[in-house]
Structure 1
Amino acid sequence: MRYNVVVATHHKTGTVWMDGVFKGIAADLGVAYIDFKVWYEHRREQLSEALKAPFILLSTDSDFRSHGSLLEREDVRVLHLIRDPRDVVISAMHYHRKSKESWLHEPVPGYDDVTYQRRLKGLPNTHQRYIYEMEHSSGGTVQDMLRWRYGRPDCFEARYEELRQDIELRYWRRITAFLGFDAAERKICDAHFWRNSLFGGLSRLGNRHVRSGDIGQWKREFTVPLAYAFIGCFPGALQALGYEADHNWVLDLQHAPPRRRFGDSALRPLRELSRAFSFF
């Protein structure tokens, strides 16, 4: 390894996928594999020493707390992974309804001490459950993606959608070359990427953590009212992250009534929604 490698993801943007890939790479290359959150919470006093040796580090929320300077080190290359926020909401809602992660089963202050999962499952319909996700866990994830400092020269800004379709590993090989792996190491990287991908090894073995993993799930899941609610919660997020140029994607939804692109009259519902949410 020419550089130490930092992998920065967000909840439901391919975190478990990247964990499997890079944990395997680290094991084969004989370098330390550091789950930043686990070390920060349970082995913080040892973390600074661990970051002196050759390592591959994963941050599951792209928050490096007091170790933010790690991203500026000359001996570090970073892979940052994002996903379409609309698919984040969909994936997170379904995952949170069934997951056994401990935080989902802890009482939530302000909700009569009902747990996150129980509150989510108790809502009357899918629309309300998606709204709940937008206003809570997934809302935090979207804000985290927006707060990330883009444009770092030593960071490869990757998209889940590109990796999910990368059957020929062209995109992945661009990433591993950028991260500084040599030719022999890149073959190891390729093997672990394929083995942990839904179009590769996992297609045969399955993965209970993954419900779908498809891209563009929002196109069949989002209704027009839900789309308006999404824009109200995250105005400009899709544009800032490069997923949409404007709000016209709402008009392309399967259940959207045929009409012209967003002009003044079409924008009126958004303005009314914005006043209700006080976000615009």
Structure 2
Amino acid sequence: MPDPRLALFVHHKCGTVLLQNVFRDIGESRGWYYRNRRSFSRGFPSKAGITMFSHSLWEPAARPSPMRGVHVVRDPRDVLVSGYQYHLRTKEPWCSSTDFTGSSPTAIPYIIRHRSDDFLEAYRADLAGQSYQARLNELDRRGGLIFEMDHFARWTFEAMEAWDYERDDVLEVTFEELMSNFDDTFARIFTFMGFEGRLFEEAMETARTQDLSRKSEAEIEKMGHVTSKTTSRWRDILDEGLLDEFRSRFGDLPERLGYPAA
């Protein structure tokens, strides 16, 4: 187990699969146990050396372990667009399920499984007997984007806003930095986590195998979570009416996270 433990705090459509692939491979090469916590969590899994918190729904344990982590955010407008496009076609079970029964209901996404029964019942009512994916696909693009705003995008933005950006044991990074300056950004991450010498070089080699800019278009087409090498598409998708809908719900959230208003 590495000391300190390593933590990856991400949000939906903010480089989750990229960081998972890089750090899972690093963990396997070093014998460090990798875990992914998709729901709300306190502290670390007992045996994990590397833990990904897929929605950054995390609170420190009463006796926190020494930790070095990275937290990744993305322009919320691109989170909205990318999430909408992903949910139209993903094969994740929750997205195509209508099963709200049992001890672990398939139709409830992990990001809201810790919410109250009243909240989950309201979500179920919003689906009107359909799956999330079916609901999106019956709507036109404008309606689908507004539905996404009111559901998965909203939940993601709430987690982004709740995050503590002042932690000195977590490096803040943007998805845009990862995409535009891949090698230097991963070098910052690995250096912050204490990687040196051979470990640092091997980690950089591992990371480069996941760099989209180094992949062919044919390779991109085979990746279920990626549709394009283009990092930002919100300006092409969100017209002024949709931006008004966004602002009426989330105000100046992009600016609060360090992104330009337009």
Aligned to 1:90: 81
Please identify the structure whose Cα radius of gyration is greater.
1
Counterpart code for 2:219: L
SS at match of 2:60: helix
Distance 1:229 1:118 in 2: 22
Which position in structure 2 is the counterpart of 1:57? Answer: 51
| More off after superposition, 108-117 vs 178-187 | 108-117
SS of corresponding position for 1:10 = coil
Cα RMSD, aligned residues only? 2.3
Contact 1:8 1:59 in 2 (8 A): yes
1:134 aligns with 2:149: yes
1:184 — aligned with what? 198
Change (3 A) 1:184 1:214: same
Deviation at 1:48, TM superposition (A): 4.8
Q: Does 1:216 align with 2:207?
A: no
Question: What letter corresponds to residue 170 of structure 1 in structure 2?
Answer: D
Asked whether the 8 Å contact 1:37–1:59 carries over to 2, the reply is yes
Is 1:166 the equivalent of 2:181? yes
- Equivalents in 2 of 1:31, 1:78: separation in Å? 15
TM-score (norm 1): 0.77
Q: Kindly provide the CA deviation profile for residues 5-51 of structure 1, in whole angstroms up to 9, marking residues without a partner as x.
A: 100101111101111011011111221111123897xxx9xx75315
- Alpha-carbon distance in structure 2 between the residues aligned to 1:71 and 1:84: 34
- Name the CA shift for 1:205/1:160 in 2 (closer, same or farther; >3 Å): same
TM-score between the two structures when normalised by the length of structure 2? 0.82
User: What secondary structure is seen at the aligned counterpart in 1 of 2:78?
Assistant: helix
Cross-structure match for 2:96: 105
| Residue segments in structure 2 that go unaligned for 5+ positions in a row | 99-122
Tell me by how many angstroms 1:166 deviates: 1.7
Q: Secondary structure at the match of 2:213?
A: coil
Most deviating of 205-214 and 152-161: 205-214
Aligned counterparts of 2:199 and 2:85: Cα–Cα separation in 1: 36
Higher helix share: 1
| Identity percentage of aligned residues | 27
Counterpart secondary structure, 1:12: coil
Counterpart in 2 of 1:272? none
Whether 1:156 aligns to 2:171 is: yes
Once the two structures are superposed, residues 213-272 of structure 1 have per-residue CA deviations (whole angstroms, 9 ceiling, x without a partner) of 52221121111111111111111211211112xx4x2xxxxxxxxxxxxxxxxxxxxxxx
Cα distance in 1 between the residues matched to 2:214 and 2:172:
23
Aligned with residue 131 of structure 2, among 87, 103, 115: 115
Secondary structure of 1:6's counterpart equals strand
Aligned counterparts of 1:15 and 1:48: Cα–Cα separation in 2: 19
CA displacement, residues 191-219 of structure 1 (integer Å, 9 cap, x when unaligned): 12111121125766331221125222112
| Contact 1:71–1:78 (CA under 8 A) maintained in structure 2 | no
Unaligned 5+ segments in structure 1 are 250-280
Change (3 A) 1:177 1:156: same
The aligned amino acid for 1:13 is C
In structure 1, the residue corresponding to 2:52 is in which secondary structure? strand
The number of residue pairs the alignment matches comes to 233
Q: Does 1:68 align with 2:83?
A: no
